[in-house]
Amino acid sequence: MVINNSNNIIVQGIFYTILKIYTKTGDDGTTGLQGNSRVSKSNPRIIAYGTIDEANAVIGIALSYKLDADITILLNKIQNELFVVGADLSNPDMKDDKNRITENMIYNLEKDIDKYEKELPPLTNFILPGGIITASQIHHARTIIRRAETNIALLSEQEKINDNCIKYINRLSDLFFVLCRVLNKRNGQKDTLWKI
């Protein structure tokens, strides 16, 4: 291993750039977007993809528990796709089509909703969030996704964004609702109905 400066190393003839955790560039309250423009950390774009990151972290908590393999695979896929949502929202250059949410991703969520709904009895009442711990965590993620949807809608009123982002997030919150019911049903936990 040869270190050729503070940010680069050469290992067995392969050049690597070391990514530092701290850059100090955000110490003035700004952050960088794709394309190297800088905006305030309170910018609606930052708030939108920051909320996506928050939801992704809660999904990570749910994944730390033992889940059925099919749901683990699905949640891992969604975590990766949420990174795409974040990348999409962090790129104001609408001519750049790299790392964008696609209609196919939305279609796949719809297929997942249809697939998992087949396991469930029809819903005739509103239900309260909760049940087993993993269902409760996914309910938590679902509510953060709803907040992200609001933040993305606000951003879209001010700037041009990929319309597929809001569609994807809308479908994802529906899928999470269904997954919560599936997790509870598979574990013998009945839905708690809203009573007034």
Q: What is the pLDDT of residue 33?
A: 53
Residues of the chain with pLDDT under 70: 1-13, 15-16, 21-42, 94
pTM: 0.84
Q: What is the pLDDT of residue 46?
A: 84
Q: Compute the distance between CA of residue 193 and CA of residue 190 in angstroms, rounded to an integer.
A: 9
Note whether residue 196 is domain-resident.
no
Residue with tokens 């695979």: 73
Q: Compute the distance between CA of residue 119 and CA of residue 113 in angstroms, rounded to an integer.
A: 10
Q: How many domains does the chain have?
A: 1
| HSE, side-chain direction, 13 A CA sphere, residue 140 | 16
- Which DSSP string corresponds to 31-65? EEPTTS-EEETTSHHHHHHHHHHHHHHHHHHHHTS
Note whether residue 169 is domain-resident.
yes
**Other Cβ atoms within 10 Å of 173 Cβ, number:** 19
Task: Name the residue range of residue 16's domain.
Answer: 2-186
Note whether residue 174 is domain-resident.
yes
Note whether residue 192 is domain-resident.
no
Q: What is the pLDDT of residue 95?
A: 73
Q: What is the CATH number of the domain that holds 53?
A: 1.20.1200.10
Q: What is the pLDDT of residue 1?
A: 46
Encoded tokens for 79: 């975590």
Q: What is the pLDDT of residue 130?
A: 94
Nearest to 55 by CA among 119, 129, 148: 148
Note whether residue 96 is domain-resident.
yes
Q: What is the pLDDT of residue 2?
A: 46
Note whether residue 26 is domain-resident.
yes
Note whether residue 23 is domain-resident.
yes
